[in-house]
């Protein structure tokens, strides 16, 4: 359908509402999903008009996240995002939303509405969840400081959901992390040591995948997890090279990285799934000679040695930039 602007009542026009209702009845549907974010009023009005449960894009993504979360932190983050989303959608035509009597019988006056009690209960739970997540964030910060003191390179995998990050993570580390051909297979950040060669290693982390229109509640709830990305020394931006929407997905990942404060972190693009796209394993360099992209297949192992070489080269360049005097002294000693 074409409209100049969304209808404030139903998002779509009344004629389209009737059309969807007829199609839903014909197909015996029990749910209607909108691939947009609906306002609480629009969702409520659509449910009344269609007589069906209505999910918008945000609620659908939250529901998928709730099924995928496995760690304690992941479950807390998803619950926090769900409660914040629910708090704006408490106004419904429930029969028990009349005001309760408060005080001493007739002289007490009107008490609280049930909806006010519900909001307060959600507020208390949100506060508890935020405190627990702050505790987990303090533990995560302590581990990051320990790695920094040991001068260990921190690498974080980022990318659009289902680009093959977990498969690449397993191929590099043999971690055996869960990987599947589905959206948001990974929610919980997993870190493993990555051995790059003789006396050379790094810590690599697999993170949650991004998606177009990632709900703001999720970005906020997963802030402590996403901070791992912002604090990394190097980001491996994993791209599905076989996807027809590859360029749009790369732009969306850049947007989310900017939103979480990771836009300035050094980045290496990893074009994955070359076995499906027909590309050859290769390294791309910028005019200054720095590696900017590597083409690999995490599934077949093609190009993984090139990726390791690229990470080693970045580590050497970073060490030289951070300690130029030690590199110079080492070179002089070697020459002597």
pLDDT of residue 49: 94
Lookup result for tokens 């989310």: 256
315 contacts 153 by C-beta, under 8 angstroms: yes
Provide DSSP, 63-113: HHHHHH--SHHHHHHHHHHHHHHHGGG-----GGGSEEE-SSGGGS-EEEE
Residue 268, judged by CB atoms within 10 A of its CB (0-12, 13-18, 19+), counts as: buried
Do 167 and 313 lie in one domain? The reply is yes
Q: Which of 55, 79, 105 is the last residue of a domain?
A: 55
Do 40 and 188 lie in one domain? The reply is no
Total domains, the chain: 2
Distance from the Cα of residue 69 to its chain's centroid: 12
Report if residue 313 sits inside a domain: yes
C-alpha–C-alpha distance, residues 95 and 117, integer Å: 15
Report if residue 77 sits inside a domain: no
Do 178 and 317 lie in one domain? The reply is yes
Do 166 and 305 lie in one domain? The reply is yes
Provide DSSP, 259-289: HTT-TTS-EEEEEE-HHHH-PPPEEEE-TTS
The two structure tokens encoding residue 251: 């732009």
Do 188 and 320 lie in one domain? The reply is yes
Report if residue 142 sits inside a domain: no
Do 208 and 326 lie in one domain? The reply is yes
pLDDT in tens, 9-58: 999 999 999 999 999 999 999 999 999 889 889 999 999 999 999 988 88
pLDDT of residue 180: 57
Of 158, 156, 176, 154, give the one whose Cα is nearest residue 167.
Answer: 176
295 contacts 303 by C-beta, under 8 angstroms: yes
pLDDT of residue 34: 93
Report if residue 89 sits inside a domain: no
What's this model's pTM, rounded to 2 decimal places? 0.70
pLDDT of residue 247: 94
Report if residue 130 sits inside a domain: no
Residue 176, judged by CB atoms within 10 A of its CB (0-12, 13-18, 19+), counts as: exposed
Do 326 and 178 lie in one domain? The reply is yes
pLDDT of residue 174: 82
Which residue range is the domain that position 40 belongs to? 14-55
Q: Which of 55, 71, 105 is the last residue of a domain?
A: 55
Q: How many CA atoms lie within 13 A of 64 on its CB side?
A: 19
Report if residue 113 sits inside a domain: no
Do 20 and 162 lie in one domain? The reply is no
Do 166 and 297 lie in one domain? The reply is yes
Report if residue 9 sits inside a domain: no
Q: For residue 257, what is the domain's CATH number?
A: 3.40.50.300
209 contacts 186 by C-beta, under 8 angstroms: yes
Q: Is the dihedral of CA 27, 16, 216, 235 positive or negative?
A: positive
Range list of H helices, the chain: 14-26, 40-50, 57-68, 72-86, 114-149, 165-173, 216-221, 223-230, 246-259, 274-277, 304-322, 324-335
21 contacts 49 by C-beta, under 8 angstroms: yes
Do 299 and 180 lie in one domain? The reply is yes
Do 29 and 157 lie in one domain? The reply is no
Report if residue 126 sits inside a domain: no
Q: Pick out the chain residues at pLDDT < 70.
A: 70, 90-115, 143-150, 176-188, 199, 216-218, 220-225, 322-336
pLDDT of residue 148: 61
Number of neighbouring beta carbons within 10 Å of residue 22: 10
pLDDT of residue 334: 47
């Amino acid at each position: 359908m074409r409209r100049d602007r969304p209808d404030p009542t139903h998002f779509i026009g009344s004629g389209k509402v009737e059309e969807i209702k007829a199609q839903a009845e014909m197909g015996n549907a029990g749910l209607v999903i909108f691939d947009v974010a609906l306002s609480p009023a629009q969702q409520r009005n659509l449910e009344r008009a269609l007589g069906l449960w209505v999910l918008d894009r945000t609620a659908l993504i939250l529901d998928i996240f709730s099924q995928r979360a496995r760690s304690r932190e992941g479950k807390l983050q998803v619950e926090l995002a769900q409660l914040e989303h629910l708090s704006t959608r408490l106004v419904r035509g429930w029969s028990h939303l009349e005001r309760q009597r408060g005080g001493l019988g007739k002289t007490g006056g009107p008490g609280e509405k049930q909806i006010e009690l519900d909001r307060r209960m959600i507020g208390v739970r949100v506060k508890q969840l935020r405190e627990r997540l702050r505790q987990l964030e303090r533990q995560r910060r302590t581990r990051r400081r320990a790695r920094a003191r040991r001068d260990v390179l921190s690498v974080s995998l980022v990318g659009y959901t289902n680009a093959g990050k977990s498969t690449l993570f397993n191929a590099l580390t043999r971690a055996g992390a869960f990987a599947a051909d589905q959206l948001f297979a990974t929610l919980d950040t997993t870190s493993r040591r990555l051995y790059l060669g003789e006396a050379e290693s790094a810590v690599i982390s697999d993170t949650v995948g991004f998606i177009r229109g990632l709900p703001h509640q999720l970005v906020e709830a997963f802030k402590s997890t996403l901070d791992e990305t912002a604090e990394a020394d190097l980001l491996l931006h994993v791209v599905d090279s076989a996807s027809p929407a590859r360029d749009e997905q790369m732009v969306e990942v850049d947007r989310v990285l900017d939103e979480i404060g990771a836009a300035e972190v050094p980045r290496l693009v990893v074009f994955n799934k070359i076995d499906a796209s027909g590309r050859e394993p290769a390294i791309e360099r910028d005019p200054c000679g720095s590696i900017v992209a590597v083409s690999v297949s995490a599934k077949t192992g093609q190009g993984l040695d090139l990726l390791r070489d690229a990470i080693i080269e970045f580590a050497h360049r970073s060490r030289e930039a951070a300690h130029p005097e030690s590199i110079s002294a080492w070179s002089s000693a070697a020459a002597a």
